[in-house]
Amino acid sequence: MDALTNKLTSTAIKALKALYSIDNASVEWQLTRKDFEGDVTLVVFPYLRFSKSSPEQTAETIGHYLRENSELIADFNVVKGFLNLVIDNAWWLSSVKAFAESENLVPPVENPQGVMVEYSSPNTNKPLHLGHIRNCLLGWSVGNLQSAVGHNVTRVQIINDRGIHICKSMVAWLHFANGETPESAGLKGDHLVGKYYVLFDQHYRVQIKEAVADGMEEDQAKNEVPIMKEAREMLIKWEKEDPEVMALWNKMNGWVYEGFDKTYDALGVGFDKNYYESNTYKLGKSIVDEGIKKGVFFREDDGSVWIDLTDEGLDKKILLRSDGTAVYMTQDVGTAVQRFEDYDIQRLIYTVGNEQDYHFSVLFKILDKLGYDWAKGLFHLSYGMVDLPSGKMKSREGTVVDADDLVADMIKEAAIVSNDLGKTDGMEVDELSNLHRQIGLGALKYYILKVDPRKRMTFNPEESIDLHGNTGPFIQYTHARIRSLLRKADIKPSIGNNVMILAEEVALIKTMLRYPQVVHQAADDMSPAQVANFTYELVKTYNSYYQKHSILHNDDEQTTAWRLLLSAQTARIIKHSLNILGIDAPEQM
C-alpha cells in the first residue's frame, strides 16, 4: 500500500497547492473504515483554515480535483470531513501482478546492520521448561524478522554454567546419586541434573527447619546450614579450578548440553555460537579491574567492588563479592565486550524476561560509562512470564511444565485432531508423523507468538490446537487447502485483460499489499505478534472470499486463472509469515 499512498500524496499536494495555495502540505492517509465505501481516506480538517469552507465542501472540492487529475481514482464520497477515495481496478490488477512477479515479498532496508540476538541462555542445573519455550520462540522469530528485512543476523546464547545454583546440583548428586547417570536412570541428562537441583532444595528446607527448631534465627539458618555451606565452598573451589570439582562440573554439564540440544532440535531453533559464563566471567573481572583504575567502580573496605548509579536514577550495584567471586553482572559485562570483538554487529538484542529489567538497565549504563560506543546499540526485549491455567510455575519445587513433555503432548494432540479431520488417508507413516509434528509445533508456537511479547500470558494447550479461530492449525489448514486447489487446477494462475474485480477480492488485495509494511514494523518493534495476527486477518479475509466464490469452477478460464493467482499469492504470504514465526506450512492436512 505504500506505493499507492506515495502516488496519491504527490497528487494531493498538487491539489492543495492549486486549490488553496498551500505550500509543502502535510498529507496523511488512512485505510477507509469497513462500514464506508472506499479504499483510502484523507482527513481534510487540517486544510479548513485555508479553504474557508465547511469540511464537507472542502472534501468535495479536493475529491473532484483528485478524480480529474489522477488515473488512480475511480470515484469518491464524503462523510463529514473524511474524503473516501475508491481506487481504480487497474491499480489493484497491476499491484497484484507486480506482487506476484517480485522475488522478495519484503523489500530490504536501505542500510542493513549486523544484528545479534541472544535467547534461551539457560542454567545448567535444570531442564528447559515452558518459560524457556517462550524465550526461544521469541528469540528465533525476532532473528527471522531481522533477516526478513535484510539485516545480517547472528544467533547466540550465554549458558549459565557456573555459580551457586550449579554447585547445588553438584552437591546433591555427590550426596544422593550413588553414581547415577543418564544411561542408568533412563533420563535425558538435563532432566537428571534437574532432579538433583530439586533434591538439594528439599534437603536445604529440611535443614533450615531443623536449625530453627534448635534455636537458630531463620535468616542465619539459610546461610549456615551444612548443605548450603558446602555449596558455597564448592563454588570457591570451582573458581580456583580444583581438579575434582572441575571433573564433576564437566561431567554433569556434558549431560545437560546433550539434553538441551535434543530439546532445541525438537523446537526447531538453534544458535550460531554458544557463549559460556565460565569463560566470559574472567574477561568481566579484568574489565572490572580496568574500571576501578578509570574511577568507574570503587572498592569497599571488605574488598567487594561496586558502581554507584544513584545519580542515574538506579542504585549501587555489586560487581565482585568480598571473596573475589563474580556475580551475573560481571559475566554480562565480559560477554557483551567479547561479542562485539567476535562479530561485526551494531545491535545486540537480549531476549530475557521482564523480571530482569533492572539488571539490563544497570548493565547498559555500566557499559556506556566504560566508554563503549556500541552500548547505544543494546536492547532488552523484555517479555512477560508464561502462566498456566492453574497458576505460576516454580522451578525449585519441580512444578514447571517441562519443555520436552509439552512438545510431545502437543504432537499427540495434533495426531488426534488430524485423524479426526480425515483428510490424511493414504499418507505414509513417516509423512503422517511429520505432519503431526508440524501441526503440534505450529499450535504451540503460534499460540505463544501471537501475544505481544511484553504481555504476561497464560498458555492453554487445548485452545492452541483448535482448527478454528486464531490458532496455528487454522492458518496451516488454510495454506494446505490453497495448495490442494493449486494442485487440482489444470490452468496456470494469471491475470487476463478483462478481469472483473469483486469487492471481496479488493479486500483481499488490500490486506495482501500491507504485508511488507507489517513485517518492517514488526522488525522495528521486535514483535512477532504483529506478523502472527496479520496472518490470521489475511486467512480470515481469504476464507470469507473462498466461501462466497468458487475458485476452480467458473464460466470462463480467465476468472479461474485470476482467482488461482490471488489464492497462490495468499498461500505465498502465509508460508512466508509462518516461516518468520518458525512454523511449517504443510502442503496437505
Here the CATH number for the domain that contains residue 37 is 3.30.1360.70
Question: Is residue 322 within 8 Å of residue 304, measured between CB atoms?
Answer: yes
Instruction: At 480, give phi and psi (nearest 5°).
Output: -65, -40
Same domain, 9 and 50: yes
- What number of other Cβ atoms are within 10 A of residue 143's Cβ? 27
Q: Are residues 163 and 304 in the same domain?
A: yes
Q: What is the CA radius of gyration of the chain?
A: 30
Is 398 domain-assigned? no
Number of domains making up the chain: 3
What integer pLDDT is reported at residue 389 of this predicted model?
A: 79
Can you read off the three cell numbers belonging to residue 392? 505460576
C-alpha 5/C-alpha 14 separation (Å) is 14
Q: Minimal CA–CA distance to 153: which of 161, 165, 141?
A: 141
Q: What is the DSSP letter of 296?
A: S
In this structure, the answer to whether residues 266 and 199 fall within a common structural domain is: yes
Using a 10 angstrom Cβ sphere, with 0-12 exposed, 13-18 middle and 19 or more buried, the burial of residue 493 is middle
In-domain check, residue 262: yes
Distance between CA 452 and CA 528 in Å, rounded?
8
3-state secondary structure of 335: helix
Residue 394, domain member (yes or no):
no
Cα separation, 241 vs 205, in Å, equals: 29
Residues 453 and 279: beta-carbon distance below 8 Å: no
Q: Nine-digit cell at 219?
A: 535468616
Integer Cα distance of 423 and 335 in angstroms: 51
User: What are the beta bridge partners of residue 42?
Assistant: 29, 83
Determine the 3-state secondary structure of 159 from DSSP.
Answer: strand
- Provide the b/e sequence for 217-250 (b: ≥16 CB within 10 Å): eeeebbeebebbebbbebbebbbeeeeebeebbe
Let me know whether 343 and 413 are in one domain.
no
Name the pTM for this structure: 0.91
Coil, helix or strand at residue 305: strand
- DSSP labels for 508-565? HHHHHHTHHHHHHHHHHHT-HHHHHHHHHHHHHHHHHHHHHS-SS--SSHHHHHHHHH
Q: Which three cell numbers stand for residue 9?
A: 500524496
Query: What does the chain come to in residues?
Result: 589
**What backbone torsions phi and psi does residue 443 show, to the nearest 5 degrees?**
-65, -50
- For residues 479 and 586, the answer to whether their CB atoms sit within 8 Å is yes
Same domain, 474 and 522: yes
Q: What's the CA gap between 523 and 516, in Å, rounded?
A: 11
Does residue 179 share a domain with residue 73? no
Report the CATH number that the domain containing residue 464 is assigned in CATH: 1.10.730.10
- pLDDT reported for residue 186: 96
Residue 328 and residue 430 in one domain: no
The alpha carbon of 445 is separated from its chain's Cα centroid by a whole number of angstroms, namely 10
Query: Do 184 and 288 sit in the same domain of this protein?
Result: yes
Domain assignment present for 100: no
Domain span holding position 552: 405-580
Same-domain check for residues 202 and 250: yes
| 103 domain-assigned | no
Domain boundary among 31, 63, 87: 87
Residue that has been written with the C-alpha cell 557463549 in this structure: 275
Burial grade of 469 (CB within 10 A; 0-12, 13-18, 19 or more): exposed
Angle (CA) 246-247-252 rounded to 5° is 100
Give 57-100 as a DSSP string.
Answer: HHHHHHHHHHHHH-TTEEEEEEETTEEEEEEPHHHHHHHHHHHH
- pLDDT tens per residue, the chain (589 residues)? 778 888 899 999 999 999 999 998 999 999 999 889 999 999 999 999 999 999 999 999 999 999 999 999 999 999 999 999 999 999 999 999 999 999 999 999 999 999 999 999 898 998 999 999 999 999 999 999 999 999 999 999 999 998 899 999 999 999 999 999 999 999 999 999 999 999 999 999 999 999 999 999 999 999 999 999 999 999 999 989 999 999 999 999 999 999 999 999 999 999 999 999 999 999 999 999 999 999 999 999 999 999 999 999 999 999 999 988 888 899 999 999 999 999 999 999 999 999 999 999 999 999 999 999 999 999 999 999 998 776 554 544 445 789 999 999 999 999 988 887 777 777 889 999 999 999 999 999 999 999 999 999 999 888 898 888 899 999 999 999 999 999 999 999 999 888 889 999 999 999 999 999 999 999 999 999 999 999 999 999 999 999 999 999 998 999 999 999 999 999 999 999 999 999 999 999 8
Q: Are 514 and 5 in contact (CB under 8 A)?
A: no
Residue with cell 522469530: 141
Indicate if 380 and 410 belong to the same structural domain: no
Q: Evaluate whether residue 73 is within a structural domain.
A: yes
**Other beta carbons within 10 Å of 344:** 9
- Of the three residues 387, 413, 440, the one that is the final residue of a domain is 387
What's 142's domain CATH number? 3.40.50.620
Handedness of CA 165, 171, 173, 176 (dihedral sign): negative
